[in-house]
A and B are shown apart, each in its own frame.
Chain A
Amino acid sequence: MATINEIQDQIIEDFDLFDEWDEKYAYIIDLGKKLPGIDAKYKIEANIIKGCQSLVWMVSTYKDGKVYFEGESDAIIVKGLVALLLKVLSGQPAEDIAKSDMYFIDKIGMQQHLSMTRSNGLASMVKQMKMHAIAYQSKTV
């Protein structure tokens, strides 16, 4: 499996093909539409990353040292951004996730979404995913 940075570099390369902002967003919207939602039973308060505008749910499982994420949002662009994060981080070793640097966000021109709408911007989603990874790591030590 490709490393976190290899996947990031691939995404950056993919986005380089887009000339206009609307092509980028059409692609992200498409990712959002295609991302399978999470099971209704996981859509509980404890799994919500609450924002001022939209909701994000994030759950994870741990197997053989790797963390598998599932996520969803009620807003489609955010859901597409969740899909990108899952692509990069899901299935990666917990320790790699914990120390990862999500440089692709800036490189694909999505930096405005890092701190968007207070608390459920990409930054807090990434932080949440890292917290999951760190929690699993400490369990196994």
Chain B
Amino acid sequence: MITINTDLLTTDGTLNIERIREDFPILHQEVNGKPLVYFDNAATTQKPIQVVEALTAYYLNDNANIHRGIHTLAERATAAFEATRDSVKTFINANEREEIIFTRGTTEGINLVASTWGITNLKAGDEIVVSAMEHHSNMVPWHMLAQRTKAVVKILPMNDAGELLPEAFDTIITSKTKLLACVHVSNTLGSINPVKQLIAKAHAVGAVALIDGAQAVSHLDIDVQDLDADFYAFSAHKLYGPTGVGVLYGKRAILEAMPPYQGGGEMISEVTYEGCTYNELPYKFEAGTPNIADVVALKAAIDYVNSIGKAAIRAYEHELLDYAVSKLKNIEGIRLIGTAKDKVSVQSFVFADIHHQDLGIILDKEGVAIRTGHHCTQPLMGRLGVTGTSRASFAFYNTKEEIDQFIAAIHKAIKLFR
């Protein structure tokens, strides 16, 4: 049974943090003798008990293969699996449930589009436009596609704060552009990109637009119809859900016209020794037995986030970000990376005299989990003139007290290194 919580908000509509933290047992532990401070939420978020319970309940009570069975368990499993599809449809405001395709994650969703839509629609000289702050997962598939089709990858430039330059949009997005593939929220910088505007620009020149929403779904209200995105990809595990599940949204007309991704069971209509016809949406793109249990548990994650509400989440996460930045900027020798006006609760920083790996090691000793390195954005590191950064990313279960512990740990590290 999935428990829906009604007491995650206080009477004045703000987050009941103590109550919320009870739902995340993993947070209540010591690491290296210090209370764990988990600030690596942009890499993956922790899972509330409700998600773990949904996963367990599925395996203990309902496990069966879906869609084909006529027995009761198969029906229950199918109903639970398809209920998540409905839940995702509402969560991102898709027009139809058939436009929701389950994948292994954002990366697979993007690769699916590159391998099907991309191969069918791109030819030599066509241009794929990406931004200067793409994660490798929204860069490498397009490089691979460009190698195969002789298409060209173009880059939307940004300023030093980590904001895309609107004045460059029209010079980069031209009649040669066939695809715009842009990250909604930068994993390294936290910048929220003006994707609605970019999508409109892409459509104006007849291009298709794909948005990498991996970092956006846990922070922002997503409305794919309002954005008018042709594709929108995200991962469950960055949304307090299980690993190994992602969603690719695509507009029906575009999905219908695309060839299948992988061949196998589920995705066919009829198979003979001579050939086959394909199943209808969304099954055409879901070959083989899917990750049923984790898809089922994704619904519990969405329910959890909805029971707090994105508006309340965003307000609180902003408070955390502002508090962290106010403390960080006073540390001697620090350079904040990612200072866009419009951003989510992610803050990268570097020190000229302390290597990010060294800082990460000492922070871990102090119980603080941050991410250090290039964050799978090597081109961006080159643009910023650094080899890597330290990145703290906050979720709604984090607290100001944890930020104090994080800041104290940085001061301890500085004392050791300087």
Q: Mark A residues whose CB is within 8 Å of B.
A: 21-22, 25-26, 29, 52-54, 74-78, 117
Contact = CB atoms under 8 A, between A and B. Distances in A.
B165 interface: no
A126 B314 CA distance: 47
Given A25-B416, A54-B355, 10 more contacts: A22-B416, A26-B416, A29-B358, A52-B374, A53-B360, A54-B357, A75-B355, A75-B357, A76-B358, A77-B358
Contacts of B365: 21-22, 25
Interface string B335-359: 0000000000000000000111110
B5 interface: no
Residue in B372, B412, B416 with the greatest tally of chain A CB atoms within 10 Å = B416
B269 interface: no
Contacts of A25: 361-362, 365, 416
Contacts of B412: 22
A21 B355 contact: no
B373 interface: yes
A53 B358 CA distance: 10
Given A25-B416, A26-B416, A53-B372, A117 B357 contact: yes
Interface string B372-402: 1110000000000001100000000000000
Nearest to A80: B358
**Interface majority SS on A: helix, strand, loop or mixed?**
helix
Nearest to A78: B357
A77 B354 CA distance: 10
Nearest to A55: B387
Given A29-B417, A74-B387, A76-B417, A21 B32 contact: yes
Contacts of A54: 355, 357
Interface string B114-133: 00000000000000000000
Contacts of B357: 53-54, 75, 77-78, 117
A29 B418 CA distance: 10
Contacts of A22: 365, 412, 416
Contact of A74 (B355, B373, B374): B355
Contacts of A53: 356-357, 360, 372-373, 388
A124 B390 CA distance: 24
**9 A-B pairs with least C-beta separation:** A75-B355, A53-B357, A75-B357, A54-B357, A53-B373, A77-B358, A75-B358, A76-B358, A77-B361
Nearest to A54: B357
A74 B356 CA distance: 10
B355 A76 contact: yes
A57 to B, nearest CB: 15
A124 to B, nearest CB: 15
A52 B356 CA distance: 11
Residue in A26, A29, A76, A78 with the greatest tally of chain B CB atoms within 10 Å = A76
Contacts of A76: 354-355, 358, 417
A46 to B, nearest CB: 20
A137 B415 CA distance: 44
Nearest to B32: A21
5 contacts: A25-B361, A26-B416, A52-B373, A54-B357, A78-B358
A25 B412 CA distance: 12
Nearest to A21: B365
A26 B354 CA distance: 14
A13 B372 CA distance: 32
Contacts of A77: 357-358, 361
A76 B358 CA distance: 7
Residue in B355, B356, B357 with the greatest tally of chain A CB atoms within 10 Å = B357
A140 to B, nearest CB: 37
Nearest to B33: A21
A26 B356 CA distance: 17
A2 B357 CA distance: 33
Residue in A21, A29, A53, A76 with the greatest tally of chain B CB atoms within 10 Å = A53
Contacts of A74: 355, 387
A25 B416 CA distance: 8
A52 B377 CA distance: 12
A117 B127 CA distance: 36
A29 B356 contact: no
